[in-house]
Amino acid sequence: MEVPSVERFEIALNTPAGRVNTVLDVPTGFVPITSIVPLARHLGEKMLKLEENRSHETGNAISCRMGCAACCRMLVPLSPPEAFALQEYVEQLPQDRQTVLRRKIEQSKATLTAHGILDRLQAVADATTPIPDDELEPINRAYYALRHPCPFLDQEICSIYEARPAACRELLVTSPAQLCDNLAENPVQPLSVPVRIGTVLGLLWASIAGHSPRLIPLPLAFDWAHQHRNEAVRRWAGSHLIDQMLDKMWRFLSQEFERRGQSPGP
- Footprint of ligand SF4 (CB under 6 A): 69, 72, 76, 150, 152-153, 158, 160, 164, 168
Least distance CB 124 / ligand SF4 (angstroms) = 17
In angstroms, give the least distance from the CB of 165 to ligand SF4: 6
Alpha carbons 205 and 14: distance in angstroms, whole number: 24
Tell me which residue of 226, 221, 228, 95 sits closest to 164, measured CA to CA. 221
Cα distances (Å, whole numbers) of residue 3 to 6, 30, 43, 137: 9, 12, 22, 42
Query: From the CA atom positions of the chain, what is the Rg in Å?
Result: 19
CB-wise, 11 or 142, nearer to ligand SF4? Answer: 142
Distance between CA atoms of 195 and 166, rounded to whole angstroms?
Answer: 11
**C-alpha dihedral (109, 110, 112, 118), degrees to nearest 10:** 60
Nearer to ligand SF4 among residue 100 and residue 153 (C-beta): 153
Nearer of residues 6 and 68 to ligand SF4, judged by Cβ: 68
Least separation in angstroms between CB 129 and ligand SF4: 26
Question: Closer to ligand SF4 at the Cβ: 146 or 237?
Answer: 146
Q: Contact at 8 Å (CB) between 244 and 26?
A: no
Which stretch of DSSP H or E encloses residue 24?
strand 18-27
Say which residues have a Cβ less than 8 Å from residue 260's Cβ, sequence separation at least 6: 16
State the nearest-atom distance from the C-beta of 198 to ligand SF4, in Å. Answer: 12
- Compare residues 105 and 150 and give the one whose CB is closer to ligand SF4: 150
To ligand SF4, the closest distance from the beta carbon of 164 in angstroms equals: 4
Of 164 and 214, which has the nearer Cβ to ligand SF4?
164
Instruction: State in angstroms the smallest separation of the CB of 235 from ligand SF4.
Output: 27
Specify the residue, 79 or 244, whose C-beta has the smaller distance to ligand SF4.
Answer: 79
- Report in angstroms how near the CB of residue 29 gets to ligand SF4 at its nearest: 31
∠ CA 169-52-241 to the nearest 5 degrees? 50
Dihedral sign, Cα of residue 77, residue 82, residue 87, residue 92: negative
